[in-house]
Chain A
Amino acid sequence: AQTVTQSQPEMSVQEAETVTLSCTYDTSESDYYLFWYKQPPSRQMILVIRQEAYKQQNATENRFSVNFQKAAKSFSLKISDSQLGDAAMYFCGFTGGFKTIFGAGTRLFVKA
């Protein structure tokens, strides 16, 4: 069975600082995608960043980057230069085949 674990229910970061959100997963599949989605208070989940499992290079999208450790089945999200607008729930997602499952989420607070 596929599982996604986010061990940090809440995290807090000072504006302009860097924060790392953790995610681990378990799967027997060899071909899959990993995602981080953001859910702001407006409710809709939006994609932050995506990583293909076959790519060794860590994905980067502006201030967002991942540390993908395939052997360890770890997929952490680093947010640099945190902004007030980054405050949200962040869900780590795993897509194997055509089903995506999510971790329990990490609520990120950004302090001014």
Chain B
Amino acid sequence: EPEVTQTPSHQVTQMGQEVILRCVPISNHLYFYWYRQILGQKVEFLVSFYNNEISEKSEIFDDQFSVERPDGSNFTLKIRSTKLEDSAMYFCASILAGGTNTGELFFGEGSRLTVL
């Protein structure tokens, strides 16, 4: 069964360092998302991406965050200068858009980011 894959599963970084989290969405999906979950808290929407550009972003997604789809398969989230409060689980998700769209998000297993 197709699935969303994320790497790394866990990354530890020093405050101020740049981090890139990678995702491979399901191949025929057209919308891609990043969500963030601070430990034990709600899953927060960060950004949605369609047709090689951001379609919507939340107030959390400030200038230190960026996303791109560098090739036909990967979808990345970059945090330029990490802060302690960026420590969280980051989930990538994708959705099939079009005639058979059911609205269901398919999630990856997440990348845990720890900022020291």
Contact = CB atoms under 8 A, between A and B. Distances in A.
A95 B31 CA distance: 13
Contacts, number: 61
B42 A104 contact: yes
Interface stretch (A42-50, A61-69, A76-84): A42-50
Contact of B103 (A35, A44, A105): A35
A104 B42 CA distance: 4
Contact of A45 (B31, B44, B91, B95): B91
A50 B102 contact: yes
B105 interface: yes
B89 A104 contact: no
A37 B103 CA distance: 13
B110 A44 contact: yes
Given A50-B102, A98-B55, A45 B107 contact: yes
Nearest to A42: B109
Interface size class of B (residues with CB under 8 A): 20 to 34
Given A50-B102, A103-B42, A104-B42, A98 B107 contact: no
A16 interface: no
A18 interface: no
A46 B95 CA distance: 13
Nearest to A34: B103
Contacts of B97: 98
The prevalent SS among residues of A at the interface is strand
A46 B45 contact: no
A47 B104 contact: yes
Interface in A53-110: 91, 93, 95, 98-105
Given A50-B104, A98-B97, A99-B56, A43 B43 contact: no
Contacts of A105: 41-43
Nearest to B42: A104
A33 B102 contact: yes
A76 B30 CA distance: 30
Contact of A99 (B48, B89, B91, B107): B48
A36 B56 CA distance: 22
B110 A98 contact: no
